[in-house]
């Protein structure tokens, strides 16, 4: 069965607090909720949806969740997959629920495509596994790009002939849905006006690197390794999606493949630093985002601006 594109109304969300991992998004969001007791938080983190994956995803603590209502946290078991299409549906439902109670939904998280799907009300194409498998069996990326040029020249023109991931995805959608991939929206390189105000927390790279390292050390002391072992050894294990979570993926290399714990922890830190760079590049491309350097400004200094946007 195919998963068609997801039609939806634009969620009524005034602010998204975004930025790279370990920059301080959650602290700003909690400060905002403390300053305006009508605020409820909607997570835009693709891994905090999983129950039991708490330490390694830097999930809000139980005390924080008791203090401020959080949405889209602990909604799935780790053996289940989660997609941006489902996220779009879940955010719309959460925002509607929050507004129905006279409260204010604020989105917080750093999963770039998830954020963009809400900010720009993207129509998300479905997934077509059988079509994808057939395309993956063809090793000739250039020929796939030629095929895309014939079926959807607009999409083909937007991507390099050797960008296999994007080409295969565009063909998967075009062939599976019967609609050109380009018809699902203007593309991620277009930045139209949006009702969602984006506030990005950031820090210099050296500061982020240090914060990432310290966070991993604290997570290990808090029992991260035992958490990974517990989740992975559960009756149904972990889905392909969950197993890709930063930190979990590397610690699984220790638990399942016998790699050195010190080595996998260093690898996790390296990969997370690279991930933070990718997040910075992703968000920096969007000219609509307002940036705050939290090495220069305090959370309280940022708070006034964010409060002015919450309504």
DSSP track, the chain: --------PPP---EEEE-STTSSHHHHHHHHHHH-TTEEEEE--SSTTBTT--TTTTPPPHHHHHHS-EESSS-B-TTS---HHHHHHHHHHHHHHHHHTT-EEEEE---HHHHHHHHTT-------HHHHHHHHT---HHHHHHHHHHH-HHHHHTS-TT-HHHHHHHHHHHHHHSS-GGGG-S-TT-----SSEEEEEE--HHHHHHHHHHHHHHHHHTTHHHHHHHHHTSTT---HHHHTSTTHHHHHHHHHH---HHHHHHHHHHHHHHHHHHHHHHHHT-TTPEEEETTTS-HHHHHHHHHHH--
Whether the predicted pLDDT of 6 surpasses 50: no
- Region 156-163 average pLDDT: 90
Whether the predicted pLDDT of 219 surpasses 90: yes
Whether the predicted pLDDT of 4 surpasses 70: no
- Region 39-47 average pLDDT: 97
Residue 50 backbone dihedrals phi, psi, to 5 degrees: -90, 125
- Please, are residues 27 and 109 in contact by the beta-carbon 8 Å criterion? no
How many CB atoms sit inside 10 A of residue 1's CB? 5
Whole-number Å distance between alpha carbons of 223 and 226: 5
What is the domain class of 129-184 according to CATH? mainly alpha
What pLDDT is recorded for position 8?
55
Sheet holding 197-202, edge to edge: 70-71, 39-43, 104-108, 15-18, 197-202, 290-293
What CATH number labels 15-123+195-309? 3.40.50.300
- Region 65-80 average pLDDT: 98
What pLDDT is recorded for position 19?
97
Whether the predicted pLDDT of 109 surpasses 70: yes
Which is more confident, 247 or 9? 247
- Region 14-20 average pLDDT: 98
Whole-number Å distance between alpha carbons of 126 and 118: 16
Whether the predicted pLDDT of 2 surpasses 60: no
What percent of the chain lies above the pLDDT cut of 90? 87
What pLDDT is recorded for position 300?
85
Query: 110: left (phi > 0), else alpha (psi -120 to 50), else beta?
Result: alpha
CA 234 to chain CA centroid, Å, is 25
- Region 257-283 average pLDDT: 97
Whole-number Å distance between alpha carbons of 207 and 227: 27
- Domain residue spans of the chain: 15-123+195-309, 129-184
Question: What are the pLDDT digits (tens) for 165-182?
Answer: 889 999 999 999 999 998
Whether the predicted pLDDT of 197 surpasses 60: yes
Average pLDDT, rounded, for the chain: 94
């Amino acid at each position: 069965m195919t998963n068609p594109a997801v039609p939806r109304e634009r969620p009524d969300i005034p602010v998204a607090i975004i930025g790279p991992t370990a920059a301080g998004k959650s602290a700003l969001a909690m400060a905002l909720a403390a300053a305006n007791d009508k605020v409820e938080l909607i997570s835009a983190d693709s891994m905090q949806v999983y129950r039991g994956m708490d330490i390694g995803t830097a999930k809000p603590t139980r005390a924080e969740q008791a203090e401020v209502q959080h949405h889209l946290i602990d909604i799935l078991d780790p053996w289940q997959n989660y997609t941006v299409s489902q996220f779009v549906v879940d955010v719309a439902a959460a925002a509607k629920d929050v507004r129905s109670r006279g409260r204010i939904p604020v989105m917080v998280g750093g999963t770039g495509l998830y954020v963009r799907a809400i900010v720009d009300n993207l129509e998300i194409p479905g997934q077509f596994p059988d079509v994808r498998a057939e395309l993956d069996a063809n090793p000739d990326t250039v020929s796939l790009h030629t095929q895309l040029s014939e079926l959807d020249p607009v999409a083909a023109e937007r991507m390099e002939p050797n960008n296999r991931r994007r080409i295969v995805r565009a063909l998967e959608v075009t062939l599976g849905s019967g609609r050109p991939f380009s018809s699902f929206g203007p593309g991620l390189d277009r930045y139209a006006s949006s009702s969602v105000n984006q506030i990005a927390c950031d820090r210099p790279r050296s500061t982020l690197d240090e914060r990432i390292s310290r966070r991993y050390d604290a997570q290990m002391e808090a029992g991260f390794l035992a958490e990974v072992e517990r989740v992975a050894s559960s009756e149904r294990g972990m889905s392909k999606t969950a197993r890709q979570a930063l930190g979990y993926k590397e610690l699984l290399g220790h638990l399942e493949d016998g790699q050195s714990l010190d080595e996998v922890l260093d690898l996790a830190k390296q990969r997370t630093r690279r991930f933070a760079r990718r997040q910075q590049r992703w968000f920096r491309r969007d000219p609509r985002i307002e940036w705050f350097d939290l090495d220069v400004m305090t959370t309280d200094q940022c708070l006034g601006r964010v409060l002015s946007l919450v309504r």
